[in-house]
């Protein structure tokens, strides 16, 4: 058996910019057409999976034929002499023993399932041929296990078992398709924190009896502070504590924690019991873009981490507070310094001066600690509309422009050596009659969420 260890050092890559003109355009159109065809066949196969129907081998062949045209570099991988499995050793438990990679390294193995059997019937099963690998994993280790590198022709299905090979009750995690490998891909990807040490069995299976072929399996070891015993984080000393009202409950446009200086402000609180609502009110004296963040159960390094709260955040404007201006339940992806996964974040558009109410609660009737922060930045400069259409008939000239979410427009005309404000309007057209002999006018149009005009620059 041959096993390759590959380091994750990043090489510098020089990318040349190519101007697509003339003959290149048909090739670009062909690529777009192939992508549409690939998506169409992918959707057809996924619909058959969802309905529990058999997937014809010819449909897979059509998919991988299109894929090979779109991604020829994957098919260029030589199959001859590249297999790491000896005859029969990967065909049943315990399979091929793999070395454990160092942090930042990977183990990559190659093989095929054409001549294998369906030994691990508790993985995908359904008559699909499979191969088995085993690896000893220490406690609190994050591994990526993927077939993203394989050259196509095979709808893979990954299963990971703990201590007992292919035992239904010992299944840890499984994956069919993952868009992380590539959109509309039948390749598999698992990112998992292995809490317990032990021997784990990795099965490369096919989705059904028609799914078999060549594969490359990669096991990547990551350094991840979130994969470890859950630490306790304290509320920062400079954060204020949320205060519950002496009587009654908090509500938007009602009782709230008044934030005297919201730019910035930091609080620690707890949603308890289930259904509890914490409200923070703050007043802006000038236009600002405001960022509100709730760090709760999912953001490592904050006092709410692993305390159980799936937070929900809403922002209202007084005095009516009938409907939220913005709301967020799950912020989703991870950016350093921002909330993660089920925690919450709102970044507003430019807000006018006034009083606002931020409501922190649970999205799923759970409880737990959280940190709430407010920060502000100045509104971006207003950009003029370009181009502005000007039509003159006789001495009457009209300027028109695209519509904006903010309906009040300030219309400026260049008069000799300076710009003068000639009017405001809620329409997308402004007309005026000019004196005889005046040259065709130059106009600029601005909107202003704060209710004041911006003087154009020449």
Question: Encoding tokens for residue 92?
Answer: 């049943």
Q: What is the pLDDT of residue 450?
A: 67
Start-to-end CA span in the chain (Å): 73
Q: Which fold has domain 1-10+19-229?
A: Jelly Rolls (2.60.120)
Q: Pairing relation of β-strands 96-97 and 344-351?
A: unpaired
Q: Residue ranges of the domains in the chain?
A: 1-10+19-229, 240-378, 389-447
Over residues 326-341, the pLDDT tens digits come to 999 998 776 778 999 8
Report how far residue 285's alpha carbon sits from residue 451's, in angstroms, rounded to the nearest whole number: 13
CA distances from 181 to 38, 157, 263, 399 (A): 15, 13, 41, 51
Q: Locate tokens 């305390």: which residue?
A: 307
Q: What is the pLDDT of residue 231?
A: 84
Over residues 439-453, the pLDDT tens digits come to 777 888 877 666 555
Count the neighbouring beta carbons within 10 Å of the beta carbon of residue 228.
14
Which of 217, 164, 172 has the alpha carbon at shortest distance from 192? 172
Report how far residue 58's alpha carbon sits from residue 344's, in angstroms, rounded to the nearest whole number: 46
Decide which of 2.60.120.380, 3.40.50.620, 1.10.3720.10, 3.30.300.30 is the CATH code for 240-378.
2.60.120.380
Report how far residue 407's alpha carbon sits from residue 156's, in angstroms, rounded to the nearest whole number: 54
Q: What is the pLDDT of residue 256?
A: 95
Instruction: Per-residue pLDDT tens, the chain, 458 aa: give them.
Output: 445 444 433 333 333 333 333 444 445 455 678 889 999 999 999 999 889 888 888 898 899 889 888 887 666 543 433 455 555 566 678 888 999 999 989 999 988 887 788 778 888 866 788 899 999 999 999 999 999 886 666 889 999 999 999 998 999 999 998 888 888 889 999 999 999 999 999 999 988 887 878 888 999 999 887 788 888 899 999 999 999 998 889 999 999 999 999 999 999 999 999 999 999 999 999 889 999 999 999 998 999 999 999 999 999 998 888 899 999 999 877 677 899 988 999 999 888 889 999 999 999 889 999 999 999 999 877 667 766 888 888 888 888 888 876 667 888 888 777 888 888 888 888 898 887 767 777 888 877 666 555 666 65
* DSSP 8-state code for residue 265: E
Which of 52, 47, 55, 51 has the alpha carbon at shortest distance from 208? 55
Cis peptide upstream of residue 273 (ω within 30 degrees of 0) = yes
Q: Do residues 143 and 219 lie in contact, with contact meaning Cβ atoms separated by under 8 Å?
A: yes
Q: What is the pLDDT of residue 86?
A: 55
Q: What is the pLDDT of residue 18?
A: 33
pTM score, whole prediction = 0.54
Which of 29, 23, 208 has the alpha carbon at shortest distance from 113? 208
CA distances from 102 to 8, 118, 222, 265 (A): 11, 32, 9, 42
Residue 57 backbone phi and psi in degrees, to 5: -60, -35
Report how far residue 42's alpha carbon sits from residue 214's, in angstroms, rounded to the nearest whole number: 19
- Interhelix angle 24-51/57-70, rounded to 10 degrees, is 150
Which of 153, 212, 158, 152 has the alpha carbon at shortest distance from 190? 158
CA distances from 264 to 126, 381, 435 (A): 58, 21, 53
Q: What is the pLDDT of residue 2?
A: 43
| Cα of 234 vs its chain's centroid, Å | 28
- The DSSP string of 103-153 is TTEEEEEEEE-TT-----TTTT-TT---EEEEEEE-SSEEEEEE-TTS-SS
Q: Do residues 181 and 146 lie in contact, with contact meaning Cβ atoms separated by under 8 Å?
A: yes
Report how far residue 141's alpha carbon sits from residue 132's, in angstroms, rounded to the nearest whole number: 21
Q: Do domains 1-10+19-229 and 240-378 have the same CATH topology?
A: yes
Residue 68, SS3?
A: helix
């Amino acid at each position: 058996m041959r096993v390759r260890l590959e380091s994750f050092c990043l090489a510098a890559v020089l990318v040349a910019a190519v101007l697509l003109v003339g003959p290149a355009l048909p090739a670009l159109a062909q690529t777009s057409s192939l992508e549409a065809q690939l998506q169409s066949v992918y959707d057809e196969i996924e619909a058959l999976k969802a309905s529990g129907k058999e997937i014809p081998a010819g449909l897979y062949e059509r998919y991988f034929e299109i894929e090979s045209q779109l991604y020829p570099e994957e098919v260029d991988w030589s199959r001859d002499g590249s297999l790491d499995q000896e005859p029969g050793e990967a065909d049943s438990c315990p399979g091929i023993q793999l070395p454990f990679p160092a942090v930042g390294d990977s183990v990559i193995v190659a093989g095929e399932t054409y001549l294998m059997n369906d030994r691990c019937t508790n993985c995908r099963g359904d008559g699909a041929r499979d191969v088995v690998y085993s690896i000893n994993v220490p406690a609190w280790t994050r591994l990526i296990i993927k077939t993203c590198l394989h050259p196509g022709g095979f709808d893979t299905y990954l299963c990971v078992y703990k201590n007992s090979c292919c035992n239904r009750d010992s299944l840890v995690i499984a994956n069919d398709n993952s868009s992380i490998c590539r959109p509309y891909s039948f390749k598999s990807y698992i990112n998992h924190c292995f809490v317990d040490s032990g021997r784990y069995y990795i099965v490369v299976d096919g989705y059904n009896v028609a799914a078999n072929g060549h594969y490359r399996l990669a096991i990547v070891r990551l350094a991840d502070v979130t994969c470890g015993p859950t630490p306790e984080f304290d509320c920062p000393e400079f954060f204020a504590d949320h205060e519950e009202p002496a009587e009654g409950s908090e509500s938007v446009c009602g009782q709230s924690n008044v934030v005297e200086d919201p730019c910035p402000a930091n609080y620690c609180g707890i949603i308890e019991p289930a259904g509890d609502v914490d409200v923070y009110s703050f007043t802006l004296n000038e236009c600002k873009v405001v960022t509100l963040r709730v760090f709760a159960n999912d953001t490592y390094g904050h006092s709410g981490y692993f305390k159980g709260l799936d937070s929900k955040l809403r922002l209202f404007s007084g005095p009516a507070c009938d409907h939220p201006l913005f709301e967020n339940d799950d912020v989703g992806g991870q950016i350093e310094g921002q909330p993660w996964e089920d925690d919450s974040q709102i970044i507003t558009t430019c807000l006018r001066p006034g009083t606002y109410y931020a409501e922190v609660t649970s999205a799923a009737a759970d409880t737990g600690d959280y940190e709430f922060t407010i920060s502000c930045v100045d509104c971006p400069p207003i950009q003029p509309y370009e181009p502005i259409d000007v039509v003159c008939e006789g001495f009457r000239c009209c300027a028109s422009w695209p519509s904006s979410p903010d309906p009040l427009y300030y219309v400026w005309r260049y008069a000799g050596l300076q710009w003068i404000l000639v009017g405001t309007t809620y329409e997308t057209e402004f007309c005026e009659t000019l004196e005889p002999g005046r040259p065709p006018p130059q106009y600029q149009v601005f909107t202003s969420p704060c209710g004041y005009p911006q003087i154009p620059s020449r």
